[in-house]
Chain A
Amino acid sequence: MSARTFLLVAALIIASGLNPTMTKSSDNTVSRPVCSDPIQTQLPTFSSRVETVPVDVLVMQDGHPLHGLRAADFELRDNGVLQRVDLVGVENIPLNLVLAFDISESVAGTRLGQLRSASDVLLDELRKEDLVGLVTFNHNVRPRSELTPDRDAIRAALEKVQAAGATALYDGTYLGLMTGEPATGRRRLQIVFSDGFDTCSWLQPDAVIQAARRLGVLVYAVSVAEAGRSPAFLRDVCDATGGRLMEIESTWNLSSAFLDALDEVRQRYLVSYSPQGVAREGWHRLEVRVKGRKVVVKARAGYFAGS
């Protein structure tokens, strides 16, 4: 985890009033604790002796996820420079999951009910150690719940939702990306649900995709495309983060799509590396391969560091 990312953690903790925690990264870099009083205290500064960059990787062989790989099986290049890879974990990695749901006019009625039901099923499938947050977007983008272990809080928040208005898909996705803090040993995942195209966002799609790359969030999207195609943005943001766009024709079995996404995420590898031999600032193009196997590897294309 980079120093810059630590700052993001700190700011989020202070703003949300959570108790400070000592965070220990995989390379034993320790951050200073954050004071518990957000009002009295200035934002602390953090130091990080070694940056680590998490990379979420899906390895498919013959159409199925390939299990049992070790760190030594991966070959990772940062801007063409071979890096030493550490394996953080596979399916037992706890999730920081943000649900970013479209609640525009077209979701009103039956579809909203199906969205709530599918969310119920998804929440039931999460593990005790997983955290989940909720963001909704129509023409308004609103955080409904910070990351919490409390599933009922999410359910209650969803019950209060009224579907109406236009679709700020880009803005809503951005808010989802900015929800929750990075934490070593946890996987940052966002599931975006939408049945329409953006009609009123201020942010441009490229800006949101850049943010997704910078923040290292894995994005899966479920798009209802009844009479046409899905927004290119959803495919692009998923591709950029190594996630996947799942297109469905109707929401009658939306829970299956959510569970498929969750299942696929659980079978991904989370590897990390400390960049060596490359400039820290700027775009880091990532190439991930598995040595000696004919497999399909899916990971984020790269990330930005610095300004």
Chain B
Amino acid sequence: MGIRHSILAVALACAVLTEVLPGAEVPRPARLLTLQQQPAAAADNPVWLQRLQRWVELAAHHRPHHDDADARAMAAWTHADLESVLSDLLALREFSARRGGENADAWKSRVISRGNDVVRIPQLELLFGLTDDEMQVGDWNRILWAGALLHTDIALLVPPEYRGSTGAPASVRFRDGQLDSYEYPVAVHWEMARKLLDASLVPPLAQGRLLVVRPDPSRDQAVLLWYKATVAQLLSSTVSITDARTQVDRGRQLFPEDADLLFFSGCVHEGYTGPDVQNATRSVSLPAGQTLDVGSPRSHLQDAQTFFRKALERNERLTEARVRLGRVLGLLGRHQEAADELRRAAADPGDRRLFYYACLMLGEEERTLGHRDAARDWFERAAAAYPRAQSPLLALSNVALTTGDDRAAVRAIERLRNLPVDDTGQDDPWVDYHFIAGRHAGELFDALMAALPAGVRR
């Protein structure tokens, strides 16, 4: 059995053995690692254990949410080594979780063997820095979270040149609408992080003598925050839209009723129809046999519509979901529905940026519906909300031109001429529209850090 298969086997075992009662006989689920009663001749530090030890060191030393030397060192690991570590780690955690009510001396006399290699339990405790209590209930959350955050940061923060070969299809980076480079993908690090959190336990871990070992990330608010924060971060860069989709899909499996994740799901699908992704599909000439798997814009718009509606059903005050729903409906050609949603969104003046979007988009829908006076009115409102934004002025000019009012078209352009010339500044929120769904990622990460298990947050 190869490394990849061993991971699958361990994952399956974990799924089955989610609850172990005291005194239950310890089964032997793992293929490579076995738990033995009698000590054998112990090899001090086999290679697989050294690898695991190094991983633990890097995870424990890494400063969460930072691109540091530990993250860069780990980023260089091969796919095979990462899978091996994950396999071994989860198997070891599984063994510790099945200690049950076994006497401490008896427990510590056990060894874990892998082929001819054996590891004593105290050696394991030392390696992972686990307390006896943590060991007793199989609470490896500190290690699991530290590892998950390490791999998260590799995926999000470490520059591509530090990444090792993963054997997976390359990621294609686009810059300014053109193919820029190929790079090793970070999907394996996302997968590592997800699997580590899948194995985390939800406190309270034990009640009286009844030992409950139930990895259930769907009950862990920190895990929910992790999904929200990471998806938000990924949405701020379309380079990562594939990862964003996988991440939000998994998050939604765990938290199907969460309005924010439903909203983010809509944003991911809307993002697939955005200019960066669509330009890439139109422009890039890939080598034979390589394709960009992005799906049709229309199907993404339909999916986006569905998710935005679901998000609003659960939280009708999610104005941004309504704005985006309106835009998506417009792109689907359902202009009256779009106008209705955008009008509702524009009635909420709480967020100037969202109000601006709603006005701008509503102006466009009114123009499409043939209501040119209304269109001009909404474009003017958008212009009033952001007086230095160019989009409402261009829209006003264009709507005038198409109605044959050339003087008004020129007047709107004159207003644009009076805007300050600043090549690097950014005064028009429309420019950021496709990236701002994740603008609260920083706050979400702060909330996540505060929610982490003691010993992980710094």
**Partner-B contacts on A (CB < 8 A):** 4-5, 7-8, 10-12, 15, 43, 103-106, 136, 138-144, 161-168, 171, 174-175, 178, 195-200, 202-203, 207, 210-211, 214-215, 225-232, 305-307
Contact = CB atoms under 8 A, between A and B. Distances in A.
B285 to A, nearest CB: 5
A7 B177 CA distance: 38
A162 B423 contact: yes
B178 A197 contact: yes
A270 to B, nearest CB: 21
B291 to A, nearest CB: 14
Contacts of B178: 106, 195-197, 225-228
Contacts of A231: 177, 279, 282-283
Nearest to B395: A202
Most buried by A among B276, B284, B417: B417
Given A11-B410, A178-B409, A211-B401, A199 B276 contact: yes
Contacts of A166: 176, 431
Nearest to A197: B177
Contacts of B430: 200, 202
A188 to B, nearest CB: 14
B370 to A, nearest CB: 11
B421 A228 contact: no
A161 B423 contact: yes
Contact of B397 (A12, A178, A226, A227): A178
Contacts of B422: 140
Nearest to A103: B423
A248 to B, nearest CB: 14
Given A8-B406, A166-B431, 17 more contacts: A11-B410, A15-B414, A106-B178, A140-B423, A141-B390, A164-B423, A197-B177, A197-B178, A198-B275, A199-B176, A199-B275, A200-B430, A200-B431, A202-B360, A202-B390, A203-B394, A215-B401
Contacts of A214: 401
Interface string B394-412: 1101100111111101110
A104 B184 CA distance: 27
A106 B424 contact: no
Contact of A196 (B176, B414, B424): B176
A290 B379 CA distance: 46
Contact of A104 (B176, B360, B425): B176
A139 B423 CA distance: 8
A228 B176 contact: no
Nearest to B399: A207
Contacts of B221: none
A166 B434 CA distance: 12
Contact of B416 (A141, A200, A215): A141
Given A202-B394, A211-B401, A15 B410 contact: yes
B411 A11 contact: yes
A267 B395 CA distance: 36
Task: Enumerate the 3 nearest inter-chain pairs by beta-carbon distance, A residue then B residue, closest first.
Answer: A197-B177, A202-B391, A197-B279
Contact of B177 (A138, A167, A215): A167
Nearest to B413: A178
Nearest to B391: A202
Contacts of B131: none
Contact of A307 (B360, B404, B423, B425): B404
Contact of B419 (A4, A138, A142): A142
Contacts of A211: 398, 401
B175 interface: yes
A211 B404 CA distance: 11
Contacts of A140: 390, 421-423, 425-428
Contact of A142 (B282, B404, B421): B421
A56 B275 CA distance: 33
Nearest to B360: A202
A207 B434 CA distance: 21
